[in-house]
Structure 1
Amino acid sequence: MKFSQIPYQRPKMNEISDAWQIAMEKLNQAKSVEDAYYALLSLDGQQRYFESMAVISEIRHTMDTNDDFYKQEEVFFERAKVEFEGLIQERNQMILKSLYVDEIREYLSPAVVDRLKKNAEAFDPCIQNLLEEENALSGKYFPMTANITGQLAGKTYSIAELGKLAGNDDRETRRIFSGVMEAAYEKKSKEFDCLFHDLVQVRQQIASKLGFDNFVAVGYGRMGRTSYTPEDMAVFRREVEEILTPVVYDLFKAQEKRLGLQSLMNFDENTDFLTGNPSPKAGIPVLLDTFQSFFSNLSPSTKDFYQELRDKEFYDLGIRKGKIMGAYSNFVPLFHAPFVFETYNETAGAVKTFAHECGHAYQSYLVSKEVFVENTKNSSDLAEIHSMTMEFFSWEGMEALFGETGVKKYQYFHLKRALSFIPYGTAVDAFQHEIYENPDWTPAERLSAWKALEEKFLPWRRYTKDGFYDQGRFWQRQVHIYKWPFYYIDYVLAQVCALQFFLWSLKDQAGAFQAYEKLLEISGRRSFTEALEEVGLKSPFIPGSMKKVANEIQEMILALEESL
C-alpha cells in the first residue's frame, strides 16, 4: 500500500482508554510471567495504533500546513498526545512496580526499562494541562515558518528558494538573497520572541510542579538520558571550545584567504572555492535513482529497504507552498515502514540531508518487526549516529551526482561542515542550559546570551550589521529549540561518533559497515555508552577522543584542499 492510500482515522480516546485500563488490570493481576507478557502485548497494540495515526496526521500536515482537515487533526493531537502520554506513564509505573519487572526487563531490555524510568521523572498527571499548553505553543512554530516568503524586484521567493540563492557562487547574489532572507525572518522577529518567552514560562511551571528548580532536569528526563549528566555535558562543551573551535577557526580563516576576502561573512561560509561549490545533477528523479544504485551495491538489506521505500512512495521531497522547511524521518508502526521527508532544493547540503534521513529510515526498517514498539525506539544520541554515518557511507555513490571533480568538492564540503557543525551545535546546547537556568530573562537578554555564545564557539562568524542575525537571532531559525528542547546536542555527540565510523571505513569498509548495522539493530536495547562500547566506538566523553578525530579530519580536509 502506498502512503497516499493509507487510511487515517482520528483515534477515539475513550475507546483507547477503556481498552488500556482492561489491559492494565490484567498486568496488575498477572499470576505468571506469561500473563504479564500478553497484557503488555495488548497495551502495545493500542500504542501502535495511536502512534501510527498521530504520525500519519503529522506527516500530512507538514506536507501541507494549509490543509484544513489535518490542521484540525493536529489541534486534536495537541491534547490527545498529552492524554496518551498519561496512559504510557501509568503503564511505565506499573511495569516498574510489577512482581515480574526482572522478566519484563529481559523482554524489553534493561536499557528500555531504565529509559522508561527516566521518562517517568519528567511526568505527573498534575502537569497535563501545562503539557497541553506547551504542545499548543510549540505547534505554532511550523505554521509560522512554513509560509515565510521574501520579496525582491516584484518576485516572491519561498525560504527554500532563498536558501539556495543565498548559496550562489556569485558573492553579490549571495549577499542580496541572504539579506532578503533575513528581512523575511525579521518580519516575524517579535512573534519569535513572544512565542519562545511563553514556552520558557510554561516549561518553568512544569519543572516547578515536578519539584525541580528549572526545566533542565525535565529536559534530560524527557530525552531518557541514563548514561551522562548535565555536568558531563559541561565538560564536553569545554573540550569543544578549547580543542575543536580553534581548528574550525583556522579552516574559515584559510577559506577567507582562498576566496580573497577581507572579511568572511556568514553568507560566505558555505562557499568553499572561487571555482564554485559542488552542484548535483538536477531533479528529484536523478537523486532517487542515484541512491537506488548506491543502496543496491551497499548490501542486500539496504537494497530491499530502499526498493520498498520507493515502491510504497513513503517519501516526499518536493518544494511547494505550505510545506514546512526541513527534513525528518518518521516511522509508522502499524505498517512497519519509515517515511522520509525533505524540502529538496538541489544543493549539496540537500543531498547530504537525504542520505541523513535515509540512515534514520534504514534503522527503522531493520527493527520494524520488533515484537514491542518500544524496542523500535532509541535515544536520539544513538539515532543521530545512524543518520550521520549514512551520510559518509553514501560517498560511494556521490560521483554519479557530482562528477569526478565535483565529488572531491563534495567530500571537502561534507568534512568541513561536519567539523564546523560541532561548535555550533554545542552553542545551541549551552544556550538552552542558560535560558532554562534563567527563566526570568527577557527576550533581549536571551539575544545577548546567544551573541556571547557565538563569540565563544563561533568566533569566525560575521553578520550584516543590525540584520536579523546580528541582533542575536540566528537561533530562532532552529526549530529544535522551540519544539524539542535539549535534543540538539545529540547531533553533536553523534557527529563525533559518525566521524569515527568514517575513519574506520577508510581502513576497513566491510568491518565498519558490519559494526554500523549492529549498532542499528541494538540501539533500541542499549544505552548510549553501552552501544558505543559494544560496537567498538569511543565515547565522546572520554578525554582526548575528540582531539584525535579532529586532527585526522583536519588532515583530510587540508589534503582535499590541495588536490582541488
Structure 2
Amino acid sequence: MSKLQWNLGTVFAGGHVNDSSFQSFVSELKIDLKKLREKVETLSEGDIDNFTFSFIQLEDLTARFQEASAFTTCLVSANIKDQEAKQWRANLKPILGQLQSIDTELEDHLLHMKEEEWQNLMSHPDMKARSFPLHERRQKGREKMEKTYEQLAEALSQDGYHGWSDMYDTLIAQMRITKDDETLSVGQANNKKGSSDRAVRKKWAAALEEKWEDHEDLFAEAINHLSGFRLALYEKRGWSDPLKEPLMINRMQSETLDAMWAAIEEVKPMLVMYLRRKKALLGIDKLHMHDISAPIGDNTKEIPYEEAAQDIEAHFRSFSPIMADFAREAFDKNWIEAEDRDHKRPGGFCTTFPVSGQSRIFMTYDGTSGNVQTLAHELGHAFHQRTMEGLPYFTTRYAMNVAETASTFAEQIMADAAVKEASSRDEKIKLLDTKINRSCAFFMNIHARFLFEKRFYERRKQGWVNPDELKHLMVESQKEAYCGELDVHDPYFWSSKLHFFITRTPFYNFPYTFGYLFSLGIYQRSKQNQEDFETAYISLLKDSAAMTVEELAEHHLGVDLTRKDFWRQAAQPIIEDIETFLELTE
C-alpha cells in the first residue's frame, strides 16, 4: 500500500463494504435499533431508569452509525465510481432517519418532564456526564414543532432536502474540465487556479466558469429546492431568521457573531492595503479572485509528502509533544488518503470512527505549500477527536465553529514556523503572503459567502431565484466583502462552492472565521504561557462539546466573546504581519 493511500482495513476487515465484517456490523445495528424503537414506544412518563437506559442506547447506536457512515463516505470520496459503496451509503440513510426519530421521541419526554423528574434525571449517576446534551435537547424541543411533525419532516428530508445535496455531489463528481487536450476533475482544475503562472490560473478559471455556466440551471434547481425546504420547515417552527438554526447548531449567540464581524471590519483597511500591494507585485492591471491566492514569485518548489510529514511532526512538537506523537501515529498507520489521482472527490475532510477510536483524513496532495497547510489543518481536526477519547459520545459532538479551532490552530503553527525559518527576504515575503492570504480568505472570502447566503435566503422567501439573480447576489456580496478591491468577480461562486449545498450544516461559512480568530486568540496565549499550554489546550478541546462557545471562552480563557475586545486582540498578529509585509515590499 502506498504511503499516500489510507488503510481502511483496520476499521472493517477487507477495507470495503462487500466484506462480511462491515455487513454484519450494519445488520447488528439494525437489530439493536429495532429493539430500542420498541422500548422507546413503551416508555412511560417519569420512568427515569428506562429513559436513562434508552438514552445511553441511542448514544451507542448513533456512534455505531457514525462508524458505518464514515466508512462509506471514505470509500465514495476515494473513488466516486464505487457503486457498491454508494449503494450502502444510501442504505444507511433510513437508519439515520430512525435514530433521529428516536432522538425526537426522547427529546419530547425531556420536554414534558416535571421539575422533580428532571432533577432526578440530572442526579442519576449515568447522566451527570451527559448533562449538557440533555439540557440542549430539552431547550431545542421548546423551539420545534410537535413531535410527530418533526419526525415526519425528518423522514421526508432524507429523499427530499438531503437528496438535493446528494445530487449536487453527484453532478460535481461526474464533471470533467477539458482545456488544450487536458482533461481534469473539478478538484484537479481547482488546484490549477493556485498556480504561480497567471496564464495557467486564467485558463483553468475560465474553463471552470464555462462549465458552471453550462450547468447553471441544474445548480440553481438544487439550491432553490434545498433552501425552499429549509425555509418551509422554519416557517412551521415559527422561526423567521434563517440564522437561528446555524447559531443553535454552533452553540453561539448572535451577539458573538456580530462582535466578530464588527472587529473584522476594523481590520479590513489593512487587508485592502495588502491587496493593493499584492496587485502591484504581481504586475497586473485587474485583480481576479484567483489572483488573491496566487503565490508571489516562483512557487514551483514541490514538497515531497514525507518531508511535509516530518515538518508537521517537528513543528507540532514545539507546542505539544502529545499532538506531535499523534500526527506521527496518523502517518505511520496510513490514516491519510493523499494520492493525486482521478476519480477522487474534490476538497478535503477529516472524519472520525468512534467505535474503533480512529480518524481518517482525505485530501489530494500535489506538493504545494498549500497542501502542507491543508494536511496540518486536517490533522488538527483528528487531534481534536483524539483528545475526547473515552468521553460519552454525545459529549464529543462539537459544533463546526470549535471544530475549526483545532484545525486552524495547527495551520497557524506551520505558518509561523515557516516564516521564522525563512532563509531570505524573498522567501519571507512569500511566506507572509501565504499567511495574510489565509486572513483574506477568512475575513473577505468567507464574509462574501455569509453575505450571499443571508441575502439569498431573504430573497428566496419571496420565491424562486433564477441563475441571473444568484449571480447578481454573489457579485454584490463579493464587492462588499472585498471592499471594492476586486476588478473581476466570480459570479458562479454560488454554484462552485459545495458549502452552499451542504444540508446538515446550514450557513457553512461563519464558523470557519470563528474558528480561525478563536484559534489565533488561543495561539497567542500559548506563546505567553508555553509551560502549561499543552494541558490547558487539551482541557479546552475536551470541553468543546459540553459548553456553549461563550461558556467555553469564559471558563478556559476568561474572556467575553460577545464583546469586540477578544476579537480585536486575536486579530492583532494579522495587522502586524501586514505591516511587516508592506515594509519588506516597499
- Which of 24, 30, 36 pairs up with 1:20? 36
Give a deviation string over 1:178-204, Cα, whole Å, max 9, x none. 222322333322221111111122222
From 401, 409, 418, the equivalent of 2:430 is 409
The reply on whether 1:57 has 2:72 as its aligned counterpart is yes
Query: Which whole-Å CA distance do the structure 2 matches of 1:287 and 1:228 have between them?
Result: 38
- Cα distance per residue 1:119-161 (max 9 Å; x no partner): 5445711313431111111112222212332222212123333
1:234-260 CA distance string (max 9 Å, x none): 5654554x4233222221012122333
Question: Secondary structure in 2 aligned to 1:339?
Answer: strand
CA contact (8 A) 2:292 2:437 kept: no
| Residue aligning to 1:418 | 439
User: What is the Cα deviation at residue 68 of structure 1?
Assistant: 0.6
Paired residues for 1:11-410 under 5 Å: 11-12=26-27, 15-21=31-37, 24=40, 28=44, 37-97=52-112, 99=117, 100-103=120-123, 107-120=128-141, 121=143, 124-132=150-158, 133-213=160-240, 215-221=242-248, 223=249, 225=251, 227-229=252-254, 233-234=257-258, 236-240=260-264, 242-273=265-296, 275-277=297-299, 281-296=302-317, 298-370=319-391, 372-395=392-415, 398=418, 406=427, 409-410=430-431
Match of 1:446 in 2: 470
Query: How far apart, CA to CA, are the structure 2 residues paired with 1:293 and 1:548?
Result: 28
Return the alpha-carbon distance in structure 1 between the equivalents of residues 65 and 195 of structure 2. Answer: 44
Once the two structures are overlaid, the 10-residue window that deviates more, 396-405 or 208-217, is 396-405
Q: Provide closer, same or farther for how the CA distance between residues 478 and 136 of structure 1 changes in structure 2, counting only shifts above 3 A.
A: same
Pair 533,463 (structure 1): closer, same or farther in 2 beyond 3 Å: same
Q: Matched residues in 2 for 1:395 and 1:169: separation?
A: 19
Aligned counterparts of 1:397 and 1:269: Cα–Cα separation in 2? 22
Q: C-alpha separation between the residues in 2 aligned to 1:290 and 1:437?
A: 46
Q: How big is the shift at 1:530?
A: 0.8
C-alpha deviation, 1:365, in angstroms: 0.7
Question: What secondary structure does 1:11 align onto?
Answer: helix
2:398 is paired with a residue of what secondary structure? coil
Structure 1 SS opposite 2:545: helix
Aligned-residue CA RMSD (Å): 3.1
The answer to whether structure 1 residue 478 and structure 2 residue 497 are counterparts is: yes
- The Cα offsets for residues 364-411 of structure 1, whole Å up to 9 and x where unpaired, read as 0111221x2111111221111111111112347648998776466334
Is the contact between residue 78 and residue 344 of structure 2 (CA under 8 Å) also seen in structure 1?
yes
**Residues 119, 434 of structure 1: CA spacing in aligned structure 2 closer, same or farther, 3 A cutoff?**
farther
* SS at 1:151 equivalent: strand
Determine helix, strand or coil for the equivalent of 1:61: helix
SS at match of 1:369: coil
Deviates more, 1:101-110 or 1:84-93: 101-110
C-alpha distance in structure 1 between counterparts of 2:331 and 2:295, whole Å? 34
TM-superposed deviation, 1:266 = 2.0
CA contact (8 A) 1:2 1:311 kept: no
CA contact (8 A) 1:148 1:185 kept: no
The one-letter amino acid of 2:482's match is L
| Cα distance change, pair 38–203 in 1 and its aligned pair in 2 (3 A) | closer
Are residues 218 and 529 of structure 1, via their aligned partners in 2, closer, same or farther at CA, if it must alter by over 3 Å? closer
Instruction: Using the TM superposition, give the Cα deviation of residue 52 of structure 1 relative to its aligned residue in structure 2, in angstroms.
Output: 1.1
Letter in 2 for 1:204: L
Aligned to 1:525, what secondary structure does the other structure show? coil
1:495 has 2:504 as partner: no
Tell me if structure 1 keeps the 8 A contact 2:396–2:545: yes
- 1:340 aligned counterpart, secondary structure: strand
Structure 1 residues 518-527 or 205-214, which shifts more?
205-214
In structure 2, the CA distance between the partners of 1:52 and 1:30, relative to structure 1 (3 Å rule), is farther
The 3 A distance-change label for structure 1 pair 504 and 297 is closer
Which residue of 517, 521, 527 maps to 2:542? 521
- Distance of 2:439 and 2:33 partners within structure 1: 45
Q: What secondary structure sits across from 1:172 in the alignment?
A: helix
Distance 1:174 1:250 in 2: 23
State the one-letter code of the partner of 1:171.
R
Which of 430, 437, 450 is the matching residue for 2:451? 430
TM-score (norm 1): 0.87
How far 1:476 sits from its partner (Å)?
A: 2.0
* Conserved 8 A contact 1:314-1:340: yes
SS in 2 for 1:524: coil
Q: Secondary structure at the match of 1:438?
A: helix
* Residue 53 of structure 1: how far off its partner (Å): 0.8
| Helix, strand or coil at the partner of 1:71 | helix
TM-superposition CA deviations, 1:58-105 (whole Å, max 9, x none): 121111121010111222234432232112222333345552332369
Contact 2:419–2:432 (8 Å) recurs in 1: no
1:338 counterpart SS class: strand
Partner of 2:567 in structure 1? 546
Amino acid at match of 1:15: I
The answer to whether residue 4 in structure 2 is matched with residue 4 in structure 1 is: no
TM-score w.r.t. length of structure 2: 0.84
Distance (Å, rounded) in 1 between the aligned partners of 2:79 and 2:412: 31
**Kept in 2: contact 1:302–1:362 (CA 8 A):** yes
> 2:298 is paired with a residue of what secondary structure?
coil
**After superposition, what is the alpha-carbon deviation per residue over 1:275-324, rounded to whole angstroms, capped at 9, x for unaligned?**
334x6643333323333344455434224422332343222112222211
Q: Find the aligned partners of 1:238 and 1:346 in 2 and give their Cα distance.
A: 37
Mapped to 2, the partners of 1:4 and 1:497 lie a distance apart of 36
Change (3 A) 1:400 1:547: closer
Task: Compute the displacement of 1:558 (Å).
Answer: 2.3
The change in CA–CA distance for 1:254 and 1:125 in structure 2 (over 3 A counts) is same
Maintained 8 Å contact 1:108/1:374: no
Q: Structure 1 vs Structure 2: percent identity of aligned residues?
A: 18
Matched position secondary structure for 1:330: strand
Query: Structure 1 residues 103, 179: CA separation in 2 closer, same or farther (over 3 Å shift)?
Result: same
Q: AA paired with 2:472?
A: S
Q: Which amino acid aligns with 1:8?
A: F
